[in-house]
Amino acid sequence: MSFKSNWWRSAVIYQIYPRSFVDSNGDGIGDLPGILQQIDYVANLGVDAVWISPFFKSPMKDFGYDISDYRAVDPIFGTLDDFKAILAAAHDRSLKVLIDQVWNHTSEEHPWFLESRASRDNAKADWYVWVDAKADGSPPNNWLSTFGGSAWAWAPERQQYYLHNFLTSQPDLNWYNPDVAAAILDTAQFWLDLGVDGFRLDVVNFFTYDRSFRDNPLRPPDNPRPAGAMESDPFFSQINLYNLDQPETLALLKPIRELIDRYGATTLAEISSAEDTLLTSSQYVNGPDRLHTAYNSSLMTDEPFTAQRLHRLIGRVEALFDDGVICWTAGTHDFPRLKNRWSKYQPSSAFLQEAFDHMFAALIVSLRGCCCIYQGDELGLTQAEIPHDQMQDPFGIQGYPHVLGRDGSRTPMPWLKAAPQAGFTTSDAPWLPIPDEHRQAAVDVQEADPGSLLHKYRRLINWRQAQPALKQGDLQLLDLAEERLVGFVRACDQQQLLCVFNLSPETVYQDLTSLPKGKPTGEGVFSDRSYHDTLELPPFGVYFANLDA
């Protein structure tokens, strides 16, 4: 298979959360015509693809991740013709388009569930996960919903419980029923026939469950929670052995991969809530019968971002992912903004924070695999603090004040500093408030500043596209004596590129004779600070060198 057909292996993907991108009709909610209005903004970043979060018909109890019609556009976002216009415009600009597919569950308002719930003997009676109550009428086991409380809800119509790993209004589909799998693949083909270039697959590792419905064991004090799991989140009070990450899910991936490959498209899998997200992610993408690429929370944990931690993470990825590909990302609509997660562990200086932002931009485009940039991270947006009476996220509302919700990373994009609602909408009431501090990072402000983070992302992404080693090279970690640095070589037949990153707020001096010899190149180079056999890397500095020069 040619490198061109393997574009997903090194793609830079930009995630759009439609509700918060651009509102074209003044109702306070972003929509598809708004995306079309700013498609050139996305294209000008130099990215390969755009991932658009759900815009399908939905009662919006989980803001589109509770789908009532997989093939219809919800009127708040526009029409199917609006989506077709985005597809055409994106393809005209050489942008691939990935759309979210939520195949683990539907809305309780989906016709499939309405029929399944009506009786135990209808055509779709086994399309969802139904289980009898225990003798005392209680749920069949102790499984917990990720959103809090029991993962089981009672349906009087059937006198049975149904499984919902998320909200009670999001019943889980029964992937053990081949008719369900066939219906899902038929839905996938509908969108592929329209011309989409792939799917982001929501919570893939939840598709199957232990059919004996065994209780999950309680997590003992000496068993740490998975990376990224908040200590206050009750879902991780159990070791989730039986409600997700079942080996049967892997067998379901082959027909999905076969269908996607026939269209030359790709799959980006979300691996969520796993005990070991890296290991699970690798299992879902290693091999031609698995998915193409996956992302997880490895870079989205609330802990210090040190050179030692990054070195271990890269080393483990290289060990686990053979022919599979990881998608590096440090932010999505489900996680707090990366700026806040890491800035609290760094000095508060604005200069140092800016240096860190620029260093991270260089890092994420240099790692092996593809990468995803969540809207607003290219502007360096901070996590918004949403007052309780303005919160929208059901996860945050249900867990308040102990569980941090997702509203703070979903606030609208600031386009114009001085405009009402920062240019996002003409409405006086956007669906989430826009922090004043986001106005200072608005697109128009950064467009006017050649040294802004936005321009840095553009230059780095376009530079990456011209480097064969970053597009198709392998990665060799370097063992550097200086513990504040991370270094690696990206190499292919056409190029060898040395990449060194200072992950500390102090200036670091590195002996150049202990590094592969090369000529400084590319973005973020501080070649004017190298002298004799010493490289001076300023706080959060970056050094690239072409080893072929």
Residue type for 180, please?
A: V
Domain 4-106+177-463, CATH among 3.30.1380.10, 3.20.20.80, 3.40.50.1700, 2.40.50.140: 3.20.20.80
Q: How far apart are alpha carbons 527 and 230 in whole angstroms?
A: 41
Does position 527 have pLDDT exceeding 50, yes or no?
no
pLDDT score for 445: 98
Q: Tens of pLDDT along 126-172?
A: 999 999 999 999 999 999 999 999 999 999 999 999 999 999 999 99
Reduced to 3 states (helix: H, G, I; strand: E, B; else coil), residue 527 is helix
Q: How far apart are alpha carbons 227 and 295 in whole angstroms?
A: 14
pLDDT above 70: percentage of residues in the chain:
96
Task: Tell me the pTM.
Answer: 0.96
241: burial class by Cβ within 10 Å (0-12, 13-18, 19+)? middle
Which one of 62, 270, 407, 523 is the catalytic residue?
270
CA distances to 326, 362, 466, 505, 537 from 463, in Å: 21, 10, 5, 26, 21
pLDDT above 90: percentage of residues in the chain:
85
Q: Tens of pLDDT along 292-337?
A: 999 988 888 777 889 999 999 999 999 999 888 999 999 999 988 8
Active site residue 270: yes
> Which CATH topology does 474-546 take?
Immunoglobulin-like (2.60.40)
298: burial class by Cβ within 10 Å (0-12, 13-18, 19+)? buried
The domain locations on the chain are: 4-106+177-463, 474-546
DSSP notation for 283-314: HHHSSTTS-SEEE-STT--SS---HHHHHHHH
pLDDT score for 231: 77
pLDDT score for 3: 43
**Structure confidence at residue 5 as a pLDDT band (50, 70, 90):** confident
Does position 530 have pLDDT exceeding 80, yes or no?
no
CA distances to 35, 38, 230, 487 from 31, in Å: 7, 11, 32, 42
The average confidence (pLDDT) of the chain is 94
What stretch of H or E contains 100?
A: strand 96-101
Which one of 62, 66, 74, 202 is the catalytic residue?
202
Nearest to 249 by CA among 186, 295, 206, 285: 206
Nearest to 297 by CA among 279, 319, 318, 283: 279
Does position 222 have pLDDT exceeding 60, yes or no?
yes
Q: Is the Cα torsion angle 362, 363, 368, 371 positive or negative in sign?
A: negative
Reduced to 3 states (helix: H, G, I; strand: E, B; else coil), residue 191 is helix
